[in-house]
C-alpha cells in the first residue's frame, strides 16, 4: 500500500452546517480558534481514552460518558458550564466525532455556541478496523501528548 493511501483527505477550513448545534469544524480550524483565544476545547472522551491514547494540551476534560460501562456523566452540564465562559464558544472532541456530536447538541441546549470537531482525535476505522490512519486530530499533526 502506498503512502498516498494513508494520507488524510484535505477538508476545507470552514464551518459545516449541523442539526441542533452551531456546526462541524475540521481540526485545523478548531486549532486556529484555540490559538486565537476564540474558543475553549472540551475533550469528551473518557479518562481512560485520554490517558492511554493521548490528549490535547490545554483541552478541558469533561467526559460525556465514563468508563467502565459508558454511563452518562451526571455532572456533564455543570462541568461544561464551568469550562466555557458565558457567551463563549466551545469545540468538542471525542475519538471519532460521534460522542462529540451528542455533546454539542447538549451544549447548544444549554445555550452554548458549540461545534463538533470532525474526525475526532483518532479518525474513522480503516479497512483493517484500526483508527489513527484515516483522519483525526493526531494524524493531522496537531498538538497532542501521551
User: How many domains are there within the chain?
Assistant: 1
Res 6 pLDDT > 80: no
At 108, list the grid cell.
447548544
Domain of 124, in residue numbers: 20-146
Q: Is residue 115 part of a domain?
A: yes
What is the average pLDDT across 115-140? 89
Res 66 pLDDT > 90: no
Could you tell me the strand order of the sheet in which 40-43 lies?
23-25, 113-117, 89-93, 40-43, 60-61
Per residue in 11-61, pLDDT (tens digit) is 678 999 999 999 999 999 999 999 999 999 999 999 999 999 999 999 999
Q: At 8, is the pLDDT very low, low, confident or very high (cuts 50, 70, 90)?
A: low
Distance CA 134, CA 124 (A): 6
Q: Is residue 121 part of a domain?
A: yes
Per residue in 94-120, pLDDT (tens digit) is 999 889 999 999 999 999 999 999 999
Q: What count of Cα atoms within 13 Å lies in the side-chain half-sphere of residue 52?
A: 7
Q: Is residue 80 part of a domain?
A: yes
What is the average pLDDT across 72-99? 96
Distance CA 62, CA 42 (A): 6
Q: Is residue 12 part of a domain?
A: no
Q: At 9, is the pLDDT very low, low, confident or very high (cuts 50, 70, 90)?
A: low
Q: Is residue 5 part of a domain?
A: no
Read off the CATH number of the domain in which 97 is found. Answer: 3.40.250.10
Q: Is residue 71 part of a domain?
A: yes
Amino acid at each position: 500500500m502506498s503512502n498516498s493511501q494513508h494520507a488524510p483527505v484535505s477538508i476545507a477550513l470552514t464551518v459545516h452546517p449541523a442539526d441542533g448545534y452551531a456546526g462541524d469544524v475540521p481540526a485545523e480550524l478548531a486549532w486556529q480558534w484555540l490559538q486565537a483565544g476564540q474558543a475553549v476545547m472540551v475533550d469528551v472522551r473518557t479518562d481512560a481514552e485520554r490517558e492511554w491514547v493521548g490528549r490535547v494540551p490545554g483541552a478541558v476534560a469533561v467526559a460525556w460518558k465514563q468508563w467502565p460501562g459508558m454511563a452518562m456523566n451526571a455532572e456533564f452540564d455543570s462541568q461544561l458550564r464551568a469550562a466555557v465562559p458565558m457567551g463563549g464558544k466551545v469545540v468538542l472532541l471525542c475519538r471519532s466525532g460521534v460522542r462529540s456530536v451528542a455533546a454539542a447538541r447538549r451544549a447548544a441546549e444549554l445555550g452554548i455556541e458549540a461545534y463538533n470537531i470532525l474526525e475526532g482525535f483518532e479518525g474513522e476505522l480503516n479497512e483493517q478496523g484500526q483508527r489513527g490512519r484515516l483522519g483525526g486530530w493526531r494524524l493531522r499533526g496537531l498538538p497532542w501528548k501521551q
